[in-house]
Amino acid sequence: MLVVAIVTQNQAPLRAAAHDYAPQQAVLWQGDSLEVRGQSADYVQVYDHRRERAGYVKAAQIRQISLSPGAAPDLLAVVRFLRDTPGAEALGISYAAAYLRAVAPEGLTAEPFDAIGVMANRLAHRASLPQSPSSSATLAAHLDVVAEYGVVIKSYDRNGTVEVCYDGEMFRRVLAIRSASPSQRATAAVSLTDNHCVDPLASAAAYYERLRWNAAILDSVPSTELSPELRAVLKVKAASVWAELAFEQARRGAAPQSSANRALLELASVRKSDLSDQDCVDYADAAVRVGASRWAAEPAVVRAGPLLIRTTGGASGETCVLLLDADHDANDPLVRRCTYATVWPASAASNPSGTALALAVQPLAAWRELWLFRRSAAGWTVTVIPPASDDVGVGYIEFAGWAPGGEQMLTAREAMIDRHLRRSFEVVNIRSLVVERRSQTPELLRAFNRWQDPNWRQGTVAAR
């Protein structure tokens, strides 16, 4: 009968002999698995296959476990305990690996794969957060330990910061097992569709196919059989995925209305009371992503007014925006501005005096800017107003109405900055672009109560 030893303490010394003053052969970490070869007083003789070294380790620093089928239930009980214990991921994965070696084939279910996936995901998330020097050393050692069990942790460089992600192999196995419970399938689907763990060097075609796969995986989970919290989490993830898919479809010339409406529906069906504090952060992130792409749900109808927008093709991949009025057609536009971003012509809104026009332009799936066309004594200009001063990557700003006289514009903006939602409703002077009044809720601004655009109020998610 095979017996292995699992190290339960960090920095346990592997010594050359069975006493405290023997030379140290290696430093062992929580979760290391050792082959047991004998016993000597309070030391156990072991062999470390990962480091290819033999030695002795104190019996109090390890747990000897049998890999016989009869020991499988006890091992699974430990795995269930460690699955949701932060900081014990390497130890939990080692017990799960031992269980997979001990369990009889006919008794194998999706549970150990689900547990390994959850713990590997949590370990990777911890590795992406700032750590103290001592914690960083322990975390690095635990990553090495789980790698020995076949857990693949990938690293992606994003704007000078390394994002650490689990590759999700165990979650894919959960989805492949027909007997997996709805909650296990939901956990796997939510983890596999995490938009933070996407290779930034992947091709546009590969990324689009991944989005379609994400949507299909989320749709395959029977949400009616989930707990209220897990159902809400699944809907939050689905809203984010469908919003991004709508943007990508628009870029490819496909009809995005169905996907965009699906994103709005999923977001609207989330009950925030069912979400934990951490899940509320993900909900805010998804809401901003849906808000950024919400014009994809609108029919491509250009509103009438003294100023109009027409789009035409430019250089390869470019869209050119033409600003027109009663005296200037497409052959002689007031302004011509080209961009590689996605332009939403239906968002164009002219002030009554015909001196300004606001237009939604979306360069990225989760980032929408506002183009402001203005007439001055020097002629027409175009100013790009971003959602935030920082390049945060998730945010949008949108036109919300004109104040009387056409010299003031109402805007709403949302952005996720350091995992915190920043939302503001503003009254902007279109000449100086100075924000004259600002509030976190539109009801506190008289201008919003009196002059907000009905089309904005009907379609926006900022007033949720």
Residue 197's pLDDT is 79
Give pLDDT tens digits for 68-83: 999 999 999 999 999 9
pLDDT of 173 > 90? The answer is yes
pLDDT of 222 > 60? The answer is yes
Q: Write down the number of H helices and E strands in the chain.
A: 12, 20
Give the integer Cα–Cα distance in Å for 107 and 76: 12
**Of the candidates 47, 53, 60, 150, which has an alpha carbon nearest to the alpha carbon of residue 100?**
150
Residue 314's pLDDT is 86
pLDDT of 282 > 60? The answer is yes
Give the integer Cα–Cα distance in Å for 260 and 241: 10
Query: Parallel, antiparallel, or unpaired for β 153-158 and 62-66?
Result: unpaired
Percent of the chain with pLDDT over 90: 83
Mean pLDDT of 89-102: 97
Give pLDDT tens digits for 401-434: 999 988 999 999 999 998 899 999 999 999 999 9
**Of the candidates 108, 235, 228, which has an alpha carbon nearest to the alpha carbon of residue 180?**
108
Cβ atoms within 10 Å of 48's Cβ, excluding its own: 20
Give the integer Cα–Cα distance in Å for 400 and 452: 6
pLDDT band at 315 (very low <50, low <70, confident <90, very high): confident
Specify the range with the lowest mean pLDDT, choosing from 120-134, 194-208, 254-268, 409-423.
194-208
Q: State phi, psi for 19 to the nearest 5 degrees.
A: -155, 165
Residue 1's pLDDT is 55
Residue 201's pLDDT is 84
What pTM did the predictor assign?
A: 0.91
Residue 378's pLDDT is 86
Q: How is the chain split into domains, by residue range?
A: 3-66, 181-297, 308-459
Q: Residues 3-66: name the CATH superfamily.
A: SH3 Domains (2.30.30.40)
pLDDT of 377 > 90? The answer is no
State the average pLDDT for the chain: 93
Give pLDDT tens digits for 316-374: 889 999 999 999 999 999 999 999 999 999 999 999 999 999 999 999 999 999 999 99
Q: Which amino acid is at 143?
A: L
Give the integer Cα–Cα distance in Å for 393 and 72: 47
